Structure 1
Amino acid sequence: MGGFNNVILSNSHFVPHYNVSTGIERLTVLLKDKETTATIYPIFSPDDLPFELLRFLTQEYNDEIARGDTQPFFEPLTIDEFRDYWLGQFAAVMVLGDDPTLDTSWSHKEWAKRCLGTFFIKASYPGRCAHVATANILVNAGIREKGIGRILAECFLAWAPKLSYTYAMMELIFETNAPAKTVLESLHFKKIGRIKGCGLLKSNKDSLIDAITYGRELDPPETKTDHNSKYEKIRDFILTRKYPDDADRQEKSRLRALASHYTVENGHLYLKGKEVIMTQKEQLRITKDAHERGHIGINKTTSYLCDRYHWPKIKEMVTQVVKACPECKDPTLISLKRSEVPTPKLRTKSPRQQYIHHQSPNTLSQQLPDIAHIYQNTHIDSSNPLNDILAGSGISDVVEMVQRQHRHIQEPHQNHTFADYASHYHPNITSNFHYNSPGDHSETPTPADSQNLRYKTPNSIPIDPAVTKSHNQGSNDGSDVAASSEIDMARALLNSGQGQPRN
């Protein structure tokens, strides 16, 4: 946070050591939501800034001073003082949109909605040390925690070398200023100093807070800042077996360990068969292509990408792309898109569901007999040993049993026994029907063929408690009548199937 002493001292002590502004042009960026566009405009002179925008920035900075936790000032600054402090050498403002220039007709209220933030770059020390830069970043208080501060810090690191600065130093970063510390440390700033008890902050009136000084070397202007230098170092090491020039012993050891997990094919880096995508632009393109295959959801898109590619925080990028997709926001469009993409069926149907699914309504109606006619005209033999079987199965199971038996009568080439039907509905129970001779399979027994069936253990048949109670006790309440009707109807269906001749 250095550089504020030029408010008091003459500006002649802090005259910029550069006299050209070539190579710095407005920069259009994409915000964290991957949808909103903003532009960072360089400000070489206070006259380049619209007055209403200057008023808004002065008010924003004074509000930050009033909070009393990040800035060293006690009293607010006037517009002239803020202009000399913030715009004394070089500054930049970040505004929504992609207009070629700043609009001078916007009001103070309009700038409050459109201006996202600002930063300045100036010499931290005068004269012979003026090649050491410092900066201060201010984000619109109404839209913080959106990644804007990091974008402004990255722009500072890109533009400072073009102004002939070789080193960046960020002073007076109070220990309690966690957001600023997080951004600087993620951009490879290192702690180079600490001032004990430097700040008397509003939120900690009972104690003085330490201030940290961060510093780092600036990349040369021709070198593009690469946030995926880790992967490039691994790729270069695999190809050349040479370490980076500035690598210490610990970094060399870590590089050797990482390289053992990677391979390089046709210049592309792979981690366990998955291609490593280094640039954010390529990551965004691949994510959009994967999502637009069928406008599938976040989890399916993430799974698809993780099977083929590797880069940090894949799901975070997928979430941003899916939420920003205009077609996914319209349920009518997404339903049409998804219907065009075949989705594999993960669940298989049971044999009963498959049979019913492949039958047409006419076929089912032909196979099912007239239940009302059978129920009225069929004599039910109460001594039939099937009573207990019917009591042990639900009406839907017995009806399907009759359908299977009816199909067997029409298709004599199939050799299925009634015991097979019983075991199908009760696979964990040993069948209560068997042949008189274990090896005799010449004919298929039917429920009416009492010569070929023996009822072994009535107590071993699984009984529905509700049906058993009403059937055995012979009570006259409503539940007894309903259970008896269910059993009688099932018996009628069975006897109906037995009476049809074979083809």
Structure 2
Amino acid sequence: MIHMRGPTRIADRIGMIHLLWLVPKDRYNKFRTSLMSSAYGKIDRPKDYNATELDRLIPIETTTKYNKLVSVHSLTSLLREQNINESKLISYLQHLLNNEIKLGNTYPQKNILNLSEFVNYFLSGDVFIVVNSGKIRFNELENSLEENVLGTFYIKPNFPGRCSHICNGGFITAPGHRNQGIGKIMALAFIQFAPLLGYKASMFNLVFVNNTPSVRLWKSLGFKEIGRIPNAGRLLIRNEEMEGTTTEQREEFVDAIMYYYSFI
């Protein structure tokens, strides 16, 4: 699932059950892996999966299009090393995804996800976050998550078994940090990280045609359109009146593009 959109307003966070508080940290990876499922059931990582080389590479630093220093970290590694307050950060990432689900125009889910469902869907592979760099220490992120967490994305198998070498990715740019090139930073990191994890190619199943920033981004990076699914999504479309503040909302069927990228 691919998301890059224009500015939106962050919805108020409502009560979230901090499920991971109940899971001992030394069992986190086992818990996460056991929930890794799809339409095919549980999906294991590819045969050549190895995070060692990636762990040596990250974090990586880069700049936004406004020359702001940011860095990309492996949330999967940070959780394994047990040096962050995972409950607050993961709940915030859950909030970001649920905000997109409520908007109803980028992700296919219709209902918001509780914490166990979020872990199953978004954290079941390898997960990364883009954060402000400079003087900010990583273990202080939770003091101001909305200010410091700029985006997040995952990499996980798109298919099981003999096809698990083809990965999928899901991306969210935090609403308060859009139009800064964060989406492109995550996309370039995705292309760099995925082959280091053992993947040979990537396939995006549902890039909705009206998600213009996403379509433009993947085309610019050389992703090939390999198919189009007619009426793939019943998305929420909003019509804001030119005068006044009323926003009309309706459902509309939208085609989706399938994109492919080879790492070899």
TM-score, structure 1 as length reference: 0.40
CA separation in 1, counterparts of 2:148 and 2:141?
A: 13
Native 8 Å contact 2:72 2:129 kept in 1: yes
The 1:113–1:46 alpha-carbon spacing in structure 2 relative to 1, beyond 3 Å, is same
**Aligned twin of 2:125:** 89
Native 8 Å contact 1:192 1:214 kept in 2: yes
- Residue type matched to 1:200 in 2? R
- Residue type matched to 1:216 in 2? Y
**Aligned twin of 2:61:** 28
SS of equivalent to 1:216: strand
CA separation in 2, counterparts of 1:99 and 1:6?
A: 39
RMSD: 2.4
Per-residue Cα deviation, 1:454-478 (whole angstroms, up to 9, x for no partner): xxxxxxxxxxxxxxxxxxxxxxxxx
**Aligned twin of 1:330:** none
Mind listing any 5+ residue stretches in structure 2 that lack a counterpart? 3-34, 239-249
CA separation in 1, counterparts of 2:49 and 2:107?
A: 30
SS of equivalent to 1:69: coil
Aligned residues: 214
- Residue type matched to 1:33 in 2? Y
1:180-199 aligned within 5 A: 180-199=214-233
Give how far 1:86 is off: 1.3
Native 8 Å contact 1:45 1:89 kept in 2: no
> Which is richer in strand?
2
**Aligned twin of 2:196:** 162
**Aligned twin of 1:345:** none
Identity over aligned pairs, percent: 29
Aligned match for 2:70, one of 14, 27, 38: 38
1:262-273 aligned within 5 A: none
Aligned match for 1:147, one of 158, 181, 202: 181
Per-residue Cα deviation, 1:300-344 (whole angstroms, up to 9, x for no partner): xxxxxxxxxxxxxxxxxxxxxxxxxxxxxxxxxxxxxxxxxxxxx
**Aligned twin of 2:234:** 200
The 1:98–1:20 alpha-carbon spacing in structure 2 relative to 1, beyond 3 Å, is farther
Give how far 1:16 is off: 4.2
CA separation in 2, counterparts of 1:93 and 1:151?
A: 11
Per-residue Cα deviation, 1:252-271 (whole angstroms, up to 9, x for no partner): xxxxxxxxxxxxxxxxxxxx
CA separation in 2, counterparts of 1:210 and 1:23?
A: 38
Aligned match for 1:17, one of 47, 66, 72: 47
Q: Which has the larger radius of gyration?
A: 1
CA separation in 2, counterparts of 1:74 and 1:97?
A: 35
Please identify runs of 4+ aligned residues in structure 1 that moved more than 6 A.
none
Per-residue Cα deviation, 1:417-451 (whole angstroms, up to 9, x for no partner): xxxxxxxxxxxxxxxxxxxxxxxxxxxxxxxxxxx
Native 8 Å contact 1:28 1:98 kept in 2: no
- Residue type matched to 1:213 in 2? M
> Which is richer in helix?
1
Give how far 1:112 is off: 1.0
Give how far 1:106 is off: 2.4
TM-score, structure 2 as length reference: 0.74
Native 8 Å contact 2:40 2:160 kept in 1: no
CA separation in 2, counterparts of 1:8 and 1:53?
A: 28
Native 8 Å contact 2:46 2:164 kept in 1: yes
* Structure with larger RCO (C-alpha < 8 A, sep 6+): 2
Mind listing any 5+ residue stretches in structure 1 that lack a counterpart? 220-503
**Aligned twin of 1:119:** 153
SS of equivalent to 1:208: strand
Give how far 1:144 is off: 0.7
